[in-house]
Structure 1
Amino acid sequence: MTGTYKRDDLTIDQHLALTTAARRLSEEFTGLFGAETIERFLHTGYDRFAGKAAVADFLPLLAERFARQRLYALARIEGRSDGRPIVLFLCVHNAGRSQMALGFFEHLAGGRAVAWSGGSEFASEINPTAIAVMAEVGIDISKGFPKPWTEEIVQAADVVVTMGCGDACPIFPGKRYEDWKVDDPMGKGPEWVRPIRDEIERRVRVLLADLGVPVSAPGPHR
């Protein structure tokens, strides 16, 4: 049975939202993780997003989504997963390049592979121009959110793709890394971001082919 989050820094609504989130996660990961691990992941996620979220009401939701990803990663490390390949896209702010890569990967893989993203200095929101140019090709990344990475997320990935995070990118011996030299879209208009978007799509398609994952959509018609 999960706790009720007796913390002085939470409102009643936030207490209830986190308690409900803990219950959902406990049901999803029944037999894999206990209440203590689930609540710890929720608490640490909440704390990490607390200084970033534009709207405090969204904090429990962000904490739940991040905790779910971390629990899936931990299950993978412990040898309890569905066997799908996992790719982790990393950049500095997790607001532009890595979010577009994640959007393309999920769209093209059609659930046959898993993708995550993170940033060394994650931003408070996704780059609006990145959202706009991805919408032009029929992919909605507006519901995503910038997030950090954690040790278990990196360890669980089969491939780690880095885009500009430099020395801040986590390095684990034996892990497959790819460093994509792709321009940062921060502060650029749509006419500059579209070529970045198209280059990321090209690279994602090559990566999926290399992983043996058939794509669910044909090449771009634009």
Structure 2
Amino acid sequence: MTRPTVLFVCVHNAGRSQMAAGFLQHLAGDRIDVLSAGSAPKDEINPVAVQAMAEAGIDITHNTPKVLTDEAVEASDVVITMGCGDACRFYPGKRYEDWQLDDPAGQDIEAVRPIRDEIRTRIEALVSDLLETPQA
């Protein structure tokens, strides 16, 4: 059985997708491969997202925003977009989910905590689904 690969995509790859990738790596360990990218990546991760994740015991300080590539999508079993609209390409044959989450950009920690917590809840459900469903 091969490990499933999940790709998280948001425009800047600096907040939501980085938090989701951090949670998935933390909760699934080496049972799921994790990628994240953005259609227009920033130079660094949102420091408030880093702070919010640190409060949850997860260090994402060494992650860097990456540009979305065709190769990353092709290598992924599940592609989860987060508010990138038409800026994220669609590939037939992939499992897609679009998570409607507020953008943490420009928000303070009080506003980012609920976004972080919603992402964690969704990641916990995703881990259960991927690890309980036999992979083809």
Structure 2-normalised TM-score? 0.95
CA distance in 1, matches of 2:34, 2:89: 17
* 1:155, distance to aligned residue in structure 2 (A): 0.7
Do structure 1's residue 117 and structure 2's residue 36 form an aligned pair?
yes
SS of residue paired to 2:118:
helix
Map of 1:185 onto structure 2: 104
Equivalence map 1:167-178=2 (5 Å): 167-178=86-97
Map of 1:75 onto structure 2: none
* CA shift digits 1:149-206 (9 cap, x unpaired): 2111101100000001110111111111000011000000000000000000000011
Equivalence map 1:42-81=2 (5 Å): none
Do structure 1's residue 137 and structure 2's residue 56 form an aligned pair?
yes
Do structure 1's residue 107 and structure 2's residue 2 form an aligned pair?
no
CA distance in 1, matches of 2:81, 2:69: 15
Do structure 1's residue 209 and structure 2's residue 128 form an aligned pair?
yes
Map of 2:17 onto structure 1: 98
Does 1 or 2 have the higher relative contact order (CA < 8 Å, sep 6+)?
A: 2
Question: Comparing both structures, which one devotes a greater share of its residues to helix?
Answer: 1
Q: Percent identity?
A: 61
Do structure 1's residue 153 and structure 2's residue 69 form an aligned pair?
no
CA distance in 2, matches of 1:152, 1:91: 16
SS of residue paired to 1:161:
strand
* CA shift digits 1:21-77 (9 cap, x unpaired): xxxxxxxxxxxxxxxxxxxxxxxxxxxxxxxxxxxxxxxxxxxxxxxxxxxxxxxxx
Map of 1:35 onto structure 2: none
* 1:95, distance to aligned residue in structure 2 (A): 0.2
Bigger Rg over Cα:
1
Do structure 1's residue 85 and structure 2's residue 12 form an aligned pair?
no
SS of residue paired to 2:65:
coil
Structure 1-normalised TM-score? 0.58
Gaps of 5+ in 2: none
CA distance in 1, matches of 2:94, 2:27: 24
When the two chains are superposed, the root-mean-square deviation of aligned CA atoms in Å is 1.0
Gaps of 5+ in 1: 1-81, 214-222
The residue identity in structure 1 corresponding to 2:107 is: K
